Homo-oligomer: A and B are copies of this chain.
Amino acid sequence: MIKPLEGTIEEQLLKLELAALDQWNNGDPSGYLDLSADDVVYFDPFLEQRLTGKTALTAYYEALRGTIKVDRNEFINPLVQVSGNMAVLTFNLNAYVREAVYRWNCTEVYRQEETGWKIIQTHWSFVKP
């Protein structure tokens, strides 16, 4: 049974994303791993090609555990497009690490499952690398 969530789908997804991001910013990938579906696919600027499946993503994230510390984020202009049991969350993000700022584009595709909203696609890229 799906546990009812409060708020609009947009509010639900932003809450999930920001909670996972907060953990990530403190070196803990568990939030994103818990949110990701078994068939998740993943892009970021450090990979040679797409990662395919949660086993691959878990290995990648676990190797990063404890290595990341983001001091502060600006979460910019989030938008959610919903259709059926899928929702696309897009946003820009400025991540401040000491004196540096990293400017990101991000696309998350969520699918509603029995256990709640799960990410099936993540794409992080740099703004004007």
Q: Contact between B128 and A46 (Cβ–Cβ < 8 Å)?
A: yes
Chain A interface, DSSP helix/strand/loop, else mixed: strand
Number of copies: 2
14 contacts between A and B (CB under 8 A): A41-B81, A41-B90, A45-B129, A46-B128, A49-B77, A49-B105, A88-B109, A90-B123, A105-B123, A107-B107, A107-B121, A123-B123, A123-B125, A129-B129
Q: How large is the interface on A (under 10, 10 to 19, 20 to 34, 35 or more residues)?
A: 20 to 34
Q: A75-113, CB under 8 A of B: which get 1 and which 0?
A: 011010101111010111000000000000101010100
A126 within 8 A of B: yes
Is there contact, CB below 8 Å, between B86 and A84? yes
Whether a CB of chain B sits under 8 angstroms from the CB of A120 is yes
At the interface, yes or no: A61 with Cβ under 8 Å from chain B?
no
| Residue positions of A touching B, CB distance < 8 A | 39, 41, 43, 45-50, 52, 76-77, 79, 81, 83-86, 88, 90-92, 105, 107, 109, 111, 120-121, 123, 125-129
